[in-house]
Structure 1
């Protein structure tokens, strides 16, 4: 889950540089870049920068380079991004590479910021995003029933954890499993959501998610002694005790920083409920449903293609404590430094780069339609 954390928590460690493949000619020539840079933000612009991939990150903790990294820094340092576009209508300026056509953005934390930033980018007249692929790449809480910290999951379903009714747990009727239940339902025991859903769940292009997983599943992920020590505490959770690996798993986005075994059970039930039993909760974050909602709106006016959206989340922390640990104490300790942060950031870049490079280096293969 993207959550506030102490800056001292981020240990940079040894970073592996992944080189992008060479391109025969720049995607945007110098004249186009100059014309776009002369345009004012949020104003009409006669020139547009063609974008092949948008890398969507959610936070940075300090400077964009040279200090302890957030989600954006490894992309910025390793990809260079020679063009900076002022973006006062969003949380952070945009970065663009005219050689590859890759645009990188930082939305800010939370679904409100992610939704407004994605919408503002999509409506920016300086950019041609009509055929762009969108890669959301961020840290997450990860369910120890499914994976270990440092592991990275490609999502098929995005579920919203905020749109709901709630009654305080001390006042719920006898027999209720929770005081938190779906809008327009009669309680947590209602068997299925209303059809159609209204922002509570989004299904991504399954073929694209499967393609990204197949492209990256064999990659060896970064690990470190801190992760190994922490995962060994999760006795009885074999997936949590594995070294970091790539998997397929769905994302639940909620603005509340939740933690613990009971809420982890709720997240699994909530994901099953809204996906009608098809989804599997693996990662928790704060932004996905805001981002995808804006991209759906943009798709209706030809400014984006929601069938070209991928979500990759890597576990920086577990969503519940190990057996025998106090949830509140474990949560507060983790806030001082997520055990899986360094590896999660490294693995996001390592896997995301493989996908970005494949798309941009073979654009003639992917321009007209997503891979199947």
Structure 2
């Protein structure tokens, strides 16, 4: 069992006439260990260290006068030790990330595991969904990050840096619903993405004022035409995930039977007279295709085609515009930064979206969700 302390700070009063310092104090629920060093350390600073791939106990660095360890502990450290809140670190095998209530609730009541066995309040995540849910043994956990890019990014990064979890060997499953392209798949299909594209990260002009030769009002940043690669790159335009992991997940998912219904079958028949929408007529399936992120909940054939074009453009033709949502690029950026901090492994991230809405062939309106 590993332990960490929550981040609190204490001022320690000491006798300035005593020159040397006790510099390292390691706290655990059972042991107080101390050692001396030659370096001068500033008061009120904390450090996390990793040893052999595991997070160590919290190390508190304090500027204290020299004295026997027992005397020092009694006189100076007992109030600090009494104030420290110590909690067990949870090391999940899988972390599910959903984005609103219905997506989160879809994982409840499953006989194989109980996500409500532990409910852990994590500072910094969505105020609408303030608890992370975990099984009794902590092997499976779930975060409901909140909707929209800002909510999703802040919630995901707050999880990544939380001292309550060791996520270094955790697999992350981004699991939600969204719009789906009827040229690629149908309602109820489950799509695993290799690429996530932030499609609205472009210039936009009012479509009523666009040049006649522009297909939409969106123009890649730094460019003067819709067909030019963006010259200004922010670094979040495209995320590419581990395709070997994705292929393994899709193969496993294809052993499941997806839900279909007479209502869904009747809905699909709207596409019978539109040849390019033939995939929309098929039963639900597990498919490999990519995802588009935007805070804007867009509608219309022109916007759909414009974002499909941008998806192809910025991935050099590697990505297939398929599902649409409002959060995933934001979560992936948070996880990528966590990878750079050695808090998570970005190679263990899976993206999964279920098609909830299709483009209507009558109005050609694309509804997201």
- Judge same fold: TM > 0.5, yes or no: yes
Contact 2:6 2:163 in 1 (8 A): no
Q: Which residue in 2 is equivalent to 1:363?
A: none
Report Cα offsets for 1:140-181 as digits up to 9, x if no partner: 100000111000100000000221111111222231112201
| Residue matched to 2:109 | 77
Pairwise mapping of residues 198-277 of structure 1 onto structure 2 (< 5 A)?
Answer: 198-235=235-272, 236=274, 237-277=277-317
**What 5-or-longer segments of structure 1 have no aligned partner?**
1-28, 61-69, 339-372
Q: What is the distance in 1 between the residues matched to 2:157 and 2:335?
A: 7
Task: Give, in whole Å, the separation in 2 of the partners of 1:215 and 1:196.
Answer: 36
- Counterpart in the other structure of 1:366: none
Residue equivalent to 1:286: 326
Question: Which structure: greater helix fraction?
Answer: 1
In the alignment, the residues of structure 1 paired with residue 164 and residue 279 of structure 2 have an alpha-carbon distance, to the nearest angstrom, of 45
Residue by residue over 1:32-82, the C-alpha shift from the partner in whole angstroms, topping out at 9 and shown as x without a partner, is: 7xx78x9689x985641112111000000xxxxxxxxx0111213223221
TM-score, normalised by the number of residues in structure 1: 0.72
In 1, the alpha carbon distance for the partners of 2:320 and 2:85 equals 43
Q: TM-score scaled to structure 2, two decimals?
A: 0.72
Cα distance in 2, alignment partners of residues 218 and 145 from structure 1: 24
Q: Which residue of structure 2 aligns with residue 66 of structure 1?
A: none
How far off its partner does 1:217 sit?
2.3
Counterpart mapping for 1:171-186 below 5 A: 171-186=209-224
Conserved? CA contact 1:176–1:189, under 8 Å = no
Deviations 1:157-206 (A, max 9, x none): 0000221111111222231112201112222021x345976111111111
Cα distance in 2 between the residues matched to 1:116 and 1:195: 25
SS class of match (1:208):
helix
Q: Which has the larger radius of gyration?
A: 2
Distance 1:45 1:269, change over 3 A: farther
CA distance in 2, matches of 1:297, 1:88: 18
Q: Give secondary structure in 1 for the equivalent of 2:153.
A: helix
User: CA shift at 1:270, angstroms?
Assistant: 1.4
Aligned to 1:89: 124
Where has structure 1 moved over 6 Å in runs of 4 or more?
Answer: none
- Structure with more strand by fraction: 2
When the two chains are superposed, the root-mean-square deviation of aligned CA atoms in Å is 2.4
SS of 1:76 mapped into structure 2:
coil
Contact 1:54 1:133 (C-alpha < 8 Å) held by counterparts: yes
1:316 aligns with 2:356: yes
Structure 1 residues 51 and 44: alpha-carbon distance in aligned structure 2, compared to 1, 3 A threshold? farther
CA distance in 1, matches of 2:282, 2:333: 34
Return the match for 1:53 from 75, 94, 101. Answer: 94
Structure 2: gaps spanning 5 or more residues = 9-83
Match of 1:168 among 178, 190, 206: 206
